[in-house]
Chains A and B, each alone.
Chain A
Amino acid sequence: MGLHISTIIDGLYFFQIALHAKKGCCKTYSATQNVDYHCTLFQTEHKMSIEEVCRKYQTDIVQGLTNAKAAEYLIRDGPNALTPPPTTPEWVKFCRQLFGGFSVLLWTGAILCFLAYAIQASRSARSHMFDRLSLCLQLYLGIVLTAVVVITGCFSYFQEAKSSKIMESFKNMVPQQALVIREGEKVQINAEEVVGGDLVEVKGGDRIPADIRVVSAHGCKVDNSSLTGESEPQSRSPDCTHDNPLETRNIAFFSTNCVEGTARGIVICTGDNTVMGRIATLTSGLETGKTPIAKEIEHFIHIITGVAVFLGLTFFILAIVLGYSWLEAVIFLIGIIVANVPEGLLATVTVCLTLTAKRMAKKNCLVKNLEAVETLGSTSTICSDKTGTLTQNRMTVAHMWFDNQIHEADTTEDQSGASFDKSSITWISLARVAALCNRAQFKAGQDQLPILKRDVAGDASESALLKCIELSCGSVRAMRDRNKKVAEIPFNSTNKYQLSVHETEDLNDNRYLLVMKGAPERVLECCSTILVQGKEQPLDEELKEAFQNAYMELGGLGERVLGFCHVLLPEDQYPKGFAFDTDDVNFQTKDLCFVGLMSMIDPPRAAVPDAVGKCRSAGIKVIMVTGDHPITAKAIAKGVGIISEGNETVEDIAARLNIPVSQVNPRDAKACVCHGTDLKDLSQDQMDDILRNHTEIVFARTSPQQKLIIVEGCQRLGAIVAVTGDGVNDSPALKKADIGVAMGISGSDVSKQAADMILLDDNFASIVTGVEEGRLIFDNLKKSIAYTLTSNIPEITPFLLFIIVNIPLPLGTITILCIDLGTDMVPAISLAYEAAESDIMKRQPRNPFRDKLVNERLISIAYGQIVTAGFALGGFFAYFVILAENGFLPTTLVGIRLNWDDRSCNDLEDTYGQQWTYEQRKIVEFTCHTAFFVSIVVVQWADVIICKTRRNSVFQQGMRNKILIFGLFEETALAAFLSYCPGMDVALRMYPLKPSWWFCAFPYSFLIFVYDEVRKLLIRRNPGGWVERETYY
């Protein structure tokens, strides 16, 4: 325990060094100075005598501070509260949504649009080459792009604001109270007003209001688990027991809990200067990397920009070669780059992530940062805290040994497990001892609650016993009432046992019952007989060995074992009314009758082994990182399957082969239990070695800084690391991890602030749900992007042909926007609802370097194949059909552009010799745009069905996605509405289509569907074949 706590101090120093090395900026430097300063302060205080401490703070050991002094100190030191991490102002958060990631692309597009508008506007002052309509379109496009970014920005901002509101509800709104003594009077004040030098009083159940130097204590125990991860309560006393301030018994730390007893102490540190405060400060100083999905989106932007610039430049050069002027070529360049921007994708991605976040929230995973939704899905390593996450965080009786036999108790949360034979007389005696020799009791007013849910005042092991007995034998209180306590010797570390004397139940029996519990070996020493099948037998060597074996076995399970014995004191020596003196023991404590052993453990949660198994089959490495003892840690690890059956550690192999540990080849051991103290001496390479070569790792006795080293080690090996934890000691690791998962119920505020996700039910199994959802959204985002991108290129090709072969423009800006922001949206979003194609929890986590969200195969499929096959050709076919049926055959069209777009030419001749005014032919052109648009919608029907699956046939996958079916109808209805609604000709320049024109794209729609079904068939038939290598995205 001592060594373990001292590592925290090491950790703090380590941090200073690391921070220095990393930044060396003055702000960090001063923070470091602070830490140093207070470490020195500590060292004097716990070693100082109480008088010296009083002098230092000008306080009085009886009277406390004067009110004036306290007010003065409060002004000097500030309130006793942790400075919340510098909260980003709301407008910065908003701007981050507005200018982060994907939006940059759209902003660039918008700026280019405005630029093109400016160029054209300045040009058209001189010439009439560009007509006013196309001029305005550039402006409109710019405005629409801006609007899209702003609206999606607002959307995700409000989404995040919503989850941060839930976050805030976690904060304890009831102000913490503290009992201080000022001017000799006890006063309840707000914990924030506590100042250095205050004399405070704490009792069981209180939260320690500041770092205090204990001046007097009565059986005071504190639970340091939130600081150190150590679940065992530790006693506090006024004596300095260690040089190290963190180990000495006479200091109790801020925000830890006093479990039992009372203590009085002088406040030595408040607020941020406390140990807790410093860990919290360190956490906020850590930098975190980008989320995997942010990296993926960045990569996607690179690809898109690459494609856009490549196409733009190609056609810029082409335009120059074709004899366009420089300025026109620049405008074409901008036009093509802008056309490549998928306007609707940002909204689609945001909505998809939001939907998943909502779905996860329903399954008790609250996501603080929208992008973190996907991170769990790509997680390849989970570093899980033990207490509270893997385990129930409550001691429970797991085994009993009586009648020379180990009995298993039911440790499940819902008492569904098997029970043991309760009819044995020995058991009744054992239960009686456990119930009577026990100071724990249920808090009042909980009678209607199930026993396991009730709050208990008292030590964790005693509570476990209390609940166990209450469950199997009924009311303990009644039993205690029947057996009135006469005397008691509380547990202390020299005796290592607890003893009490009771009256017996039988009113005629005037004997006293002495019951004792304690460390098994000590209890056994006091015994001469043993109860077997209700009969007292002499404690012979055979039985002693049986006891030893049972004790070893239970100890080996990582359980805390207690021994129980009793004796009925002979009435002649101890008649009724005998004055038992507990200080100077005047009664028999030898020759007792041993009853049995009971062992306790914090049992794993029921759902955890299953969840760990799922993680394993999903290729996720689960590492246990705990502050607890290695044996306990290992036992739990085995219990939940983190160390799977049959896998041995080096120590196990050594024990099995009976050879020294040093002779075992470490490669033989797949599992590894690593002690925190060993970890300290490891070099980076050795650390990597451990992480790489062991599949099942448990780190025990780790400090916050070591947790951080472990996380960094995993990240160095390329893993995407999720960390779960609840304590303050976990928060640096939570922050450093790719995704930090805090516990909603037991978690400390600091850990919740550092985390990206919060498990509302504290259950490890919820993480698995999160992983599943994360993986699904990654797959589905791929599909969504593939779907959205496919409608992107056909929006450029019309423009290219317009430039190259001088035909009237086949698809206008407005119709492009109608596709991107209108008809494409719902189907793209509906793909987020798509069910998984195969068991996504059976495959390896994605490799962040290889498995990209958008890869060249997706681009090749989207741009090279589906697009040209379906969209462009389908759209162009409709375009040519309409123009031909109106009199302009394709042969006439080539080269017609200049006259076509000439406003003053109102007698343009078609193939048949008819003459057209500008407006008449423009109506035909806009009808073509509408038809092109409708064709794209028709081809998108096939496309969305294609994108539904990446490997399966749609006939295998089925059409169960209702949202997708709705999307199909919605986009068709929208297209029909845009085409036929009166007034659309004026508003959007979209014209009604003749029914036959709707069918132009049908053959192409069918073609791409068949093509893709064949492609997927080939992928399924020849796994790893050429088709899969080239086209599986």
Chain B
Amino acid sequence: MSKDGEKSGWKEYIWNPRTREFMGRTASSWGLILLFYVVFYIFLAGLFALTMYVMLQTLDDYKPTWQDRLATPGMVIRPKSDETYEIVYDTRNTETWDLYAQALDKFLTPYNNSLQTEKNKECTPDEYFLQEDTGDVKNNPKRSCQFNRTILEACSGINDRYYGYQIGQPCIIIKLNRVIGMLPGKDGQAPFVTCAAKREDTDKIGEMVYFPPNGIFNLMYYPYYGKKAQVNYSQPLVAVKFLNITTNEDVNIECRINATNIPIGSERDKFAGRVSFKLRINTK
């Protein structure tokens, strides 16, 4: 076929005035096929909605069906810089560390003593704060224990607004990810955090202080009953203050949770039960 013929063939395909066909179909043909697809898809959507509805009905409102992927809870540090776990600043340049101080301020606001006393209960330390349901009767809402900002003492930011950053003694706050129903520790032994430098940096890390003492997560903050049942849950924190860390050098630090009943996470997951970060304080 010649080029011209092809061209007119195309034109005819798009709109054929003789048969009044658009793209090879008449209006009624288009109507019918579109109607079919509309009905078909509405039916499918309905069916999908139905199966989804049935599936959602099988779920528990307070506890997910599976938690096996959360056997080792994750650990996270604050302050957190943009995309990496690196805390790098210059003591002489206020702008570089002020961001961290502000981030910590913001993070710790919910832990202000006033807020905590207002919303949460003072619990008996060193034992789990169990609030079990009695059969089908839900014991809701569940109370939460106070975690007062003052527990963090030197790292609470109350006395030292800059959390020691300014003087090269920065505070890092560590938290353990929430997992519903998790009871860390065993036989009244609370889980605690220890930090250490990675191999070649051992002599650079210097002394550290943990707040609360020994870097423990008190047992009274466990178990967690979930967002819906335990609205005002305050996640326990541990602060680490580096007292005389080597400046002007990268120091790689790893903190890990110590609890007999928390399995060591997989090698692949760098944040399960441990957290690594880099600290570099420039002074010159």
Contacts and interface: CB of A to CB of B under 8 A. Distances in A.
Interface of A: 128, 864-865, 868-869, 873, 876-877, 880-881, 884-887, 889-890, 902-904, 906-907, 909-920, 923-924, 994, 1003, 1007, 1026, 1030
Contacts of A994: 66
Given A904-B85, A913-B224, A1026 B180 contact: no
Given A868-B41, A873-B48, A904-B80, A913 B272 contact: no
A371 B227 CA distance: 64
B48 A906 contact: no
Given A904-B84, A906-B275, 15 more contacts: A876-B48, A877-B48, A877-B51, A885-B59, A885-B66, A886-B64, A902-B83, A904-B82, A906-B76, A914-B64, A914-B67, A914-B179, A914-B180, A917-B177, A920-B272
Interface string B22-57: 000000000011001100110010011001100110
19 contacts: A128-B83, A880-B55, A885-B66, A886-B65, A902-B83, A904-B80, A904-B85, A907-B76, A907-B175, A914-B70, A914-B179, A915-B177, A916-B69, A919-B266, A919-B268, A919-B272, A920-B269, A994-B66, A1030-B36
A903 B33 CA distance: 46
B106 interface: no
B62 interface: yes
Contacts of A889: 56, 59
A881 B55 CA distance: 7
B241 interface: no
Given A885-B65, A886-B65, A913 B180 contact: yes
Contacts, number: 118
A873 B66 contact: no
Contact of B47 (A885, A886, A1007): A1007
Nearest to B231: A913
B74 A880 contact: no
Nearest to B64: A887
Nearest to B225: A913
B278 interface: no
Among A906, A918, A919, the one with the most B-chain Cβ atoms within 10 Å of its Cβ is A906
Interface of B: 32-33, 36-37, 40-41, 44, 47-48, 51-52, 55-56, 59, 62-67, 69-70, 73-76, 80, 82-85, 175, 177-180, 224, 226-228, 230, 233, 266, 268-272, 275
Nearest to A924: B69
Given A917-B271, A920-B70, A904 B83 contact: yes
A1003 B179 CA distance: 33
Contacts of A128: 83
B47 A873 contact: yes
Contact of A919 (B230, B271, B275): B271
A1007 B37 CA distance: 16
Contacts of B62: 912
A69 B270 CA distance: 91
B74 A915 contact: yes
Interface residue SS majority, chain A: helix
Nearest to A876: B48
A913 B76 contact: no
A868 B51 CA distance: 15
B33 A1030 contact: yes
B119 to A, nearest CB: 16
A913 B69 contact: no
Nearest to A902: B83
Contact of B51 (A864, A904, A1003): A1003
B177 A916 contact: yes
Nearest to A1027: B36
A913 B55 contact: no
A907 B65 contact: no
Contact of A913 (B37, B44, B226): B226
A994 B76 CA distance: 29
A865 B36 CA distance: 11
A863 to B, nearest CB: 11
A904 B70 CA distance: 18
Contacts of A877: 48, 51-52, 55
Nearest to B43: A869
Contact of A914 (B33, B75, B175, B178): B178
Contacts of B69: 886, 916, 920, 923-924
B270 A913 contact: no
Nearest to A1030: B33
Nearest to B230: A913
A-B interface, 4 closest residue pairs, ranked by CB to CB distance from nearest: A913-B227, A917-B74, A915-B177, A919-B269
A912 B272 contact: no
Contacts of B226: 912-914
A915 B178 contact: yes
Contacts of B227: 909, 911-913
A880 B233 CA distance: 28
Contacts of A868: 41, 44
A923 B33 CA distance: 42
A884 B48 contact: no
Contacts of B75: 906
A869 B74 CA distance: 39
A914 B268 contact: no
Given A884-B59, A913-B180, A915-B178, A864 B270 contact: no
B83 A884 contact: no
Contacts of A914: 64, 67, 70, 177-180, 224, 226
B173 to A, nearest CB: 12
Given A904-B85, A912-B226, A920 B74 contact: yes
Nearest to B270: A919
Contacts of A919: 266, 268-272
A887 B228 CA distance: 13
B64 A864 contact: no
A1003 B73 CA distance: 36
Contacts of B41: 868
Contacts of B180: 912-914
B276 to A, nearest CB: 11
B271 A906 contact: yes
Nearest to A920: B69
Contacts of B33: 1030
A915 B224 CA distance: 11
A864 B75 CA distance: 46
Contacts of A869: 40, 44
B23 to A, nearest CB: 10
Contacts of B268: 919
A912 B47 contact: no
